[in-house]
Amino acid sequence: MFTRHSYRRTPSSIYLLFLSICGFIYLPWSTVPIIYALDHIDPQTQSIVICKTRLYISHTLGLFIRFCLVFACADRFFVTRPNVRIRSLSSIPLAIKFILIMCVICSLIAVHLPILMDIRGGVCGMFGIYKFIYAIYQTSVIGIIPPVLMSIFSVLTIRSLRERHRDNPVRTRQRDRCLTRMVFAEIIAILFDDHIIVLAI
Give tens-digit pLDDT for 52-98: 999 999 999 999 999 998 998 899 889 888 888 888 888 999 999 99
- Written out in words, the top-level CATH class of the domain with range 5-200 is mainly alpha
pTM (predicted TM-score): 0.79
Domain ranges of the chain: 5-200
- Among residues of the chain, what percentage have pLDDT more than 70? 77
Report the chain's mean pLDDT, rounded to a whole number. Answer: 81
- Taking each continuous run of H as one helix and of E as one strand, the counts in the chain are 9, 2
